[in-house]
Amino acid sequence: MGMTLAEKILARASGRERVSPDQIVVARVDLAMSHENADLVRKSFLEIGVARVWDPSKIVIIFDHRIPAESEKTATTHKAVREFVAAQGIAHFYDVGRGGICHQVLPENGLVRPGMVMVGTDSHTTTHGAFGTFATGIGATEMAGVWAEGRLWFKVPSTLRIEVEGEFRPWVSAKDLILYIIGMLGADGADYRAVEFDGPAIRRMTVASRMVLTNLAMEMGAKVAFTPVDGVLLEYLRPRTAEPLETISADSDAAYERVIRIDAGEDLWEPQVACPHSVDHVKPLSTLGEVAVHQAVLGSCTNGRLEDLEVAARILSGRTVHPRTRLLVIPASQQIYREAMHLGYLETLVAAGAVINPPGCGPCVGVHQGILAAGETCISSTNRNFLGRMGSKDSLVYLASPAVVAASAVLGKIADPGAIVEESELCLMEV
């Protein structure tokens, strides 16, 4: 019997010929990532009593959640982490203005590659499975142990395989697909499982779109998630790293807990929306009725990449944001910010009435740069819509694709991008 991707990677990292689901192994960690919560890790690490981290070249620290510092407390945290980074000689440090969202910065700099084991003190570390990496989120105390020893125990997860074929309909994207899957399986449908996304529709996706799937897989409980290691991925990685790249895949006779097959054209008729207050509360857009929105957010580690800004600029070109709606745009990294400026996307968005936040997590964290007041509704391309996630507990957050966010910003209500020109023209005729 062959092995799945998760099993193959954990077997090699633990020095075993093979592993099987539910087995406990101690695996070598290839990369350890933290953001501002590195300060919590630092404090736990100092309590262990080890003078130096196990390998400063394999630790990455990125400020992204609260940047620039929104309070004196955060500024003090940043200062403490900077001092620790300097004392330990941690080279991969991305300060304010030098990086962006952690899950975008790592692949941009070629730090995640096929076959690696990576841990991060962020729940959406599963994003890096789009690069063939066994990548999962852990707590600060666990990370302190990794900083000290470079190893961590894992229970080998069983694997769900999701095969997607068919052609996406207009204005339906990777975000709609993963919301549809989460709605189908539920918030605990992949609890402590590995998920392999594959099939013709997945292999036609860009790397950016694949990252949407692995990022949001965490919202159905996945321990790790993967998309194919193929020519598309290797073409992305080669210019970004001098390290050797391997093609790794599951064995053809691997044993899966479950195989789910989806036809993108037949099963996904229209954009999907996750309604308050859970990511698995998913409905087709056309069933929502009229939902007025006060804020639209385009960005985050889920959908703040160049293709997301491009589709929004295409929809907003020549149009303006609705008078009752605020549009916040947050590029996922400094690199994306600069590329979007060069290509004119940001100019188009600003001309339409958007405000551009610095690359980072912004209002998705719920502490700054666009939090909601009581009674307000937001349409967002982010990954969570929990009660009070973006500010007041009396606010509402709907999750959707960048295209839906952009169209909704123009019309001031949750809207299908396919109807925006028709409805805009109708409004002009009524005036």
State whether 292 and 178 are in the same domain.
no
Q: Does the pLDDT of residue 428 top 90, yes or no? A: no
Report whether 134 contacts 234 (CB < 8 A).
Answer: no
In total, how many domains does the chain have? Answer: 2
- Last residue of a domain, which of 210, 233, 263? 263
Q: What is the pTM of this model?
A: 0.93
The predicted pLDDT at position 422 comes to 58
The predicted pLDDT at position 34 comes to 97
The predicted pLDDT at position 30 comes to 98
The answer to whether the bond into 103 is cis (omega within 30° of 0) is no
Q: Does the pLDDT of residue 424 top 80, yes or no? A: no
| 62-309-209 Cα angle (round to 5) | 75
State whether 308 and 249 are in the same domain.
no
How confident is the model over 162-204, as pLDDT tens digits?
999 999 999 999 999 999 999 999 999 999 999 999 999 999 9
State whether 139 and 168 are in the same domain.
yes
State whether 22 and 72 are in the same domain.
yes
CATH number at residue 87: 3.30.499.10
Element of type H or E holding 273: strand 272-274
In the chain, the amino acid numbered 250 is A
How confident is the model over 352-365, as pLDDT tens digits?
999 999 999 889 88
Range of the domain at 328: 273-430
Distance CA 224, CA 263 (A): 23
State whether 229 and 307 are in the same domain.
no
Distance CA 96, CA 359 (A): 9
How confident is the model over 408-420, as pLDDT tens digits?
999 999 999 998 8
How confident is the model over 49-80, as pLDDT tens digits?
999 999 999 999 999 999 999 999 999 999 99
Report whether 400 contacts 388 (CB < 8 A).
Answer: no
